[in-house]
Amino acid sequence: MMRSKTAAAPFALWMTLFTVIPLGIVLWFAFTDEQGQFTLSNLSSIGEYAGTFGLSIFLGAIATVICLVLAFPLAFTISRAKGRKQQTMVMIIMLPMWMNFLLRTYAWMSLLENNGFINQFLRVIGVLADGQSVSLINTNGAIVLGMVYNFLPFMVLPLYSVMVKIDNSVIEAAQDLGSNVFQVFGRVVLPLSLPGMLSGITMVFVPAVSTFVITKLLGGSKTLMIGDAIETMFIGQGANYHVGATLSLVLMVLILVCMAITGMVDKEGEGDAA
């Protein structure tokens, strides 16, 4: 016991310094005014951000669902591939993650712009007339695209790591006992992949909801997500740490609620399958 406590000490120190204390500071800012007096006025001013919160959760949820739908068959295919092929496929999934996040998002900008690659291409092949363009950038669609592109590996990898442990003979046993493809999926693969699904959803949804870079670069100035709202509270002229801290806090609570709901749905699903 002593040994494991000693070993955990650096971690405990780290957590205290960089998680517990900062969280305390956020709390302190959220419930005080400029004079350092306790107040709930920050919290009551959050109401005007309801739309922003709603949009963030909406776009984050759509991106998460798209990631899940794309990642599930992909991860399953990778998990069934053989040795070297499997390693190569995992590499290819991880490859974009080794490139800078900003760079990747800028790349999408140059693809989606009104004079970007896609519009130019459409003009060349004659789908669009000269001077015409399809508005791709600065839309909610572009934001979701950016989220899916950037966060897809975070869905694929946890799913893959769970699926790779599913023994092929278990799938064969399900077929042997009379399950068609859909029954094998619903009664064996899906329930056995649930832990990976849950951590994948968390790893995509949380950064997607709170992103501000993707919104800024691909969503233009008109779409404001909660990440952008928080950013403006800490940087520039209208900065207000107290409102910013409150927004962060509310976002955290909302995400926790969303995760709790996901967890409950998953548990029910498990009960169904069993």
Partner 1 sequence: MQTTKEIIKLKDITVSSDGEQVLSGLDLNISDGEFVTLLGPSGCGKTTTLRIIGGFVTPDSGSVFFDGKDMAKLPPYKRPVNTIFQRYALFPHLNVQDNVAFGMRVQGKKKTEIRETVDRMLKLVNLVGFNERRIDTLSGGQQQRVAIARALANNPRVLLLDEPLAALDLKLRKDMQAELKNIQKSLGITFIYVTHDQEEALSMSDTVVVMDAGRIQQIGTPQDIYNEPKNAFVADFIGESNILDGIMHEDYLVEFFGRKFPCLDTGFDKDEPVDVVIRPEDIDIVPANQGHLTGTVTAVTFKGVHFETIVDFKGFKWMIQTTDYYPVDSIIGIVLNPEDIHIMKKSEYSDMFGDYSSYSDEFDELGNPEVDLTEDTAAEVEE
Cβ-based nearer residue to partner 1, 99 or 264: 264
Place of tokens 């496929």: 89
Nearest distance, CB of residue 80 and partner 1, angstroms: 12
Cβ-based nearer residue to partner 1, 131 or 178: 178
Cβ atoms 145, 107 nearer than 8 A? no
Q: Is 178 left (phi over 0), alpha (psi -120 to 50) or beta?
A: left
Cβ-based nearer residue to partner 1, 207 or 269: 269
Name residues whose C-beta falls within 8 Å of residue 199's C-beta, 6 or more positions apart in sequence: 158
Nearest distance, CB of residue 159 and partner 1, angstroms: 16
Nearest distance, CB of residue 86 and partner 1, angstroms: 12
Which token pair is 82? 């053989």
Cβ-based nearer residue to partner 1, 113 or 266: 266
Nearest distance, CB of residue 165 and partner 1, angstroms: 9
Which token pair is 170? 């278990």
CA-nearest of 267, 82, 189 to 180 is 189
Cβ-based nearer residue to partner 1, 118 or 192: 192
CA distance 256 to 4: 30
> How many C-beta atoms lie closer than 10 Å to residue 244's C-beta?
21
CA distance 28 to 16: 16
* The dihedral formed by the CA atoms of 57, 63, 69 and 73, expressed in degrees to the nearest 10: -130
Nearest distance, CB of residue 174 and partner 1, angstroms: 7
- Residues in the interface with partner 1 (CB under 8 A) total 21
Residues 130-169 that bind partner 1 (CB under 8 A): 167, 169
Nearest distance, CB of residue 89 and partner 1, angstroms: 18
Residues 173-202 that bind partner 1 (CB under 8 A): 173-180, 183, 187-188, 191-192
Q: Which of 91, 95, 97, 170 binds partner 1 (CB under 8 A)?
A: 170
Query: What phi and psi, each to the nearest 5 degrees, are found at residue 38?
Result: -65, 135
CA distance 135 to 205: 26
Q: Which of 41, 54, 101, 172 binds partner 1 (CB under 8 A)?
A: 172
Here's the x/- map for partner 1, 220-249, by CB under 8 A: it reads as ------------------------------
Residues 65-104 that bind partner 1 (CB under 8 A): 82
Which token pair is 205? 């949804």
DSSP 116: S
Nearest distance, CB of residue 83 and partner 1, angstroms: 9
Binding site for partner 1 (CB under 8 A): 82, 167, 169-170, 172-180, 183, 187-188, 191-192, 270, 273-274
